Amino acid sequence: MLSKPRFNETQIETLKTDTKSLSRAIIQSLEASGAKYPPQATLNAISFELGYKDFSELCFLSVPVRHYEDLSLLSILSNEQILSAYKKLNHKGKAEKKLDINVINHARRSLEMKQQDTNEPSILLEDLYEAINNDVMSEYNHQYKEGEGFPRQFKMSKEHRFFSELEDWDHFRVYDGSDYKCYTVEEFEHIYTKETCFNVVLGRRYDNGLSLGDK
C-alpha cells in the first residue's frame, strides 16, 4: 500500500463509488439478507486503513492534481486491510457466512470481474457451480465439484437472483480466474410446472442459428 495516499476531488468521488460497490460485493459474498453497510461509517473505516483519522480528514487533505493516475480502492488496500475495515462495521442483516478473508477474497474477485466488463452479466465459476447444484432443476444436471471446468450445458430455473435478470437469448460470462467463457440462455416451458426455465449452453449463440465461439 502507498504511504497515506493523497486524493484529488475526482479520485475522492471514485473512492466513494468503489466503496459502495465493494460493500455490495461483500454483502453478496456473505449471503446476507436485508443487509447494508452504513456509507459514512464505511468510508471512515476505509480512510482509517489508508492512514487517516476518518473520511473528513482524507477530504480535508485532498490535493488539486493527481499524484497517481491509477489510484483506486482495490489497488491501494490489501484484502487484510479490507477485512480489518469491515470488521469494525455492522451490516444489520442476517448473514449465511462469517466475515473472513475468504469472503473478502471472493468479493474482491467479483468486483474485479465486474469492472472488466460492465456491459455483460457475469458470474464466478464457483458461484455457478453452487447455483446449478442447488437449483430446483438440479435433478436434470450434473452435480459439479471444484476443478471440473466450465459446464457445456445445463438447465436452470429463473429463481436464482442472477438468472432472474436474464431473458431469452441473453449472453453472460463465467469467470475462472482470468479465463472466462460466454454462455447463452434459451427459454423453455417446464412440461409439468409450466414455469419458464432456461436451457443454458456454452458459446455465444443467436436465435438465427449463428454461433460465434465461446468468448
Q: Which residues in the chain come in under a pLDDT of 50?
A: 1-2
Confirm if 200 and 156 have CB atoms less than 8 A apart.
Answer: yes
CA-closest candidate to residue 11, choices 75, 93, 97, 70: 70
Q: What is the pLDDT of residue 118?
A: 56
CA-closest candidate to residue 88, choices 25, 141, 38: 38
What residues have CB less than 8 Å from 77, skipping those under 6 apart? Answer: 1, 46, 49, 50, 85
Q: What is the pLDDT of residue 188?
A: 95
Q: How is residue 174 written as a grid cell?
A: 463465467
Q: What is the pLDDT of residue 113?
A: 73
pLDDT tens string 50-97: 999 999 999 998 887 655 555 678 888 999 999 999 999 988 888 878
C-alpha span between 57 and 215 (Å, rounded): 45
Rounded to two decimals, the pTM is: 0.61
Q: What is the DSSP pairing of strand 196-202 with strand 179-189? A: antiparallel
Backbone angles phi, psi at 137, to 5 degrees: -95, 10
Reported in sequence order, the residue ranges of 31-99 that DSSP labels E, i.e. its strands, are: 32-33, 94-95
Q: What is the pLDDT of residue 1?
A: 45
DSSP structural state of residue 135? S
Q: What is the pLDDT of residue 122?
A: 84
**How many residues in the chain?**
215
